Structures are given as C-alpha cells and as structure tokens.
Chain A
Amino acid sequence: MNDSDPILERLADLPEEDVDDWRREHIRVRAHRAMQRSESKWLRIYDRFVEPAGLCGVSAAYLFWAFSICATIYGV
C-alpha cells in the first residue's frame, strides 16, 4: 500500500518515540508486581473480593457515622 505513495512512505520514516528512563522502569516494576499478584490464587481472591468488600464496609461505616453526626447536630 505504501509502495507508490510518497506521503505514506514518508510517514513510515517518522522517528520513534519513547518514554523517559524513569517512566519506563516505573511501568516495568508495576507490571512485574501485577504479574506476581495475578499468579497467586489467594492474592487474586484478596484483590477481587476481600479488599473491595473491606473498602465498602469502611465507606458504609463512615457514611453512617457522618449521617448520624448530621442528625445529632440538626436534631433530626
């Protein structure tokens, strides 16, 4: 497709782009960690069920506490 088209040929010669060294290694480290986590069955269960359930529980308790404080202040 690019053989006879000078514009498309020139596009193929555009310089390569890349992220800086810090970012490159940061992504690599995070990905390795993610791979190791996804290998462990228990960590997968923790990530998928235990942590979200725990966060939901904490959030619900906080909301309940905030509403009860508001109810006390405004005398509802």
Chain B
Amino acid sequence: MGAMVTEHGATLVARLRAGETSAFDEAYDLYRPRVFGFLLRLTQQRALAEDLLQETFLRLATKSAGLAEDTRLQAWLFTVARNLFVSHRRWVLLDLDRLGTLRRAPPPAPVTPFQRSSARQTHEALERGIAALPVKYREVILLVAVEGLSPCAAADIVNIKPEALRQRLRRAREMLAQRLEPRGTS
C-alpha cells in the first residue's frame, strides 16, 4: 500500500511538473482537507486557515514546474502551509497593537463555530485541548497524531531533529492528557 502511494505520488509529481491541471486537481482534492484541517487546528481561525490554504495551493500551482522529481507532495504541502503560518505569526507579533493581546494566555472560547461544528463531545474536548497547547507542541501533535505522518517526516516539516520531535510529542501528549483529565475523557 505504501509503495503504491509512493508510486502514485511520484506519478502525480511528474504530471505536475509537466503542467497538467488535472494533476493539480487530483492533488488538491486529495490533500486539501488534510492541509486545511491542519491549518484550522493550528491557527484556530477559520478565515486565516482559508487564506493560508489558498496561498499554499497557489504556491503549488506556481512552483509545480520546478518541483524536484523525488518531491513528497504531502510533506511539501505541509511544509509550505506551516511556513506560511510561521511567517504570518511573525508578522502579527511585529504588529505592536496586537502584542498585548497575544501576551495574554490564549484561552479558547468555550464555544466557537469551529468547536460547534464538532459533533461529539469527545471531539470537542480534544479540539479544545489541542487549541490550548502552545504552538510548537500543537503543530507536532497535529502532524503526527492527527495527520498520521511519521515522526521523521514531521521533523523535516518542523525543521527539528527526530529526537527533539519525539520529546516534543511526548510533552504535548502529557499536556493534552492533563487538560483532558478533569473532563474524564482520558
């Protein structure tokens, strides 16, 4: 199965390099929900996640001809999406008007449209737990536990060593468990 996916991924990259819009559509339909879910949970803002998703896939469209033959499309898309989020965050931090707001602890609102969309209570508790994690832990747990990427692939995306990623993941898991315990979901 893994080999099939890799083979399909390689074919998709080759078609993208050739400028086939149908290849873009295929990649877009395949990875859009995953990239969007990652961005939505990372940013906690639907409008921002939509903007970053658009920018991610526009990058794919404009850079498709220059992709390396051995590009792993999924990892490439997550890397671009994550880098765009980091750039956005850096820009927001430079905005002094917002600095005071960001310094306060980011308590997720009890009920947001994002949380309301989650049908089950367990999912809501998990979403709230993820939202309350600091960004560096949140991105790691989203990539590995939610998106199912291998720790090595996630480490490449986050640009840290796999050992450091494992430590971060362990810490994120502990923090999440602590947040879930009072609600009796762990």
Contacts and interface: CB of A to CB of B under 8 A. Distances in A.
Interface of A: 1-2, 5-8, 10-19, 23-24, 26-28, 30-32, 34-36, 38-39
Residues of A contacting B: mostly: helix
Contacts of A14: 37, 118, 123, 126-127, 146
Interface residues of B, number: 42
B36 A19 contact: yes
Given A19-B32, A38-B62, A27 B177 contact: no
Interface stretch (B51-59, B80-88, B91-99): B51-59
Given A31-B28, A38-B62, A10 B126 contact: yes
Interface of B: 19, 21, 24-25, 28, 32-34, 36-37, 40-41, 50, 53-54, 57-58, 60-62, 64-65, 117-119, 122-123, 126-127, 130, 141, 144-146, 148, 151, 169, 173, 176-177, 180, 186
A46 to B, nearest CB: 14
A34 B37 CA distance: 24
A10 B118 contact: no
B129 to A, nearest CB: 9
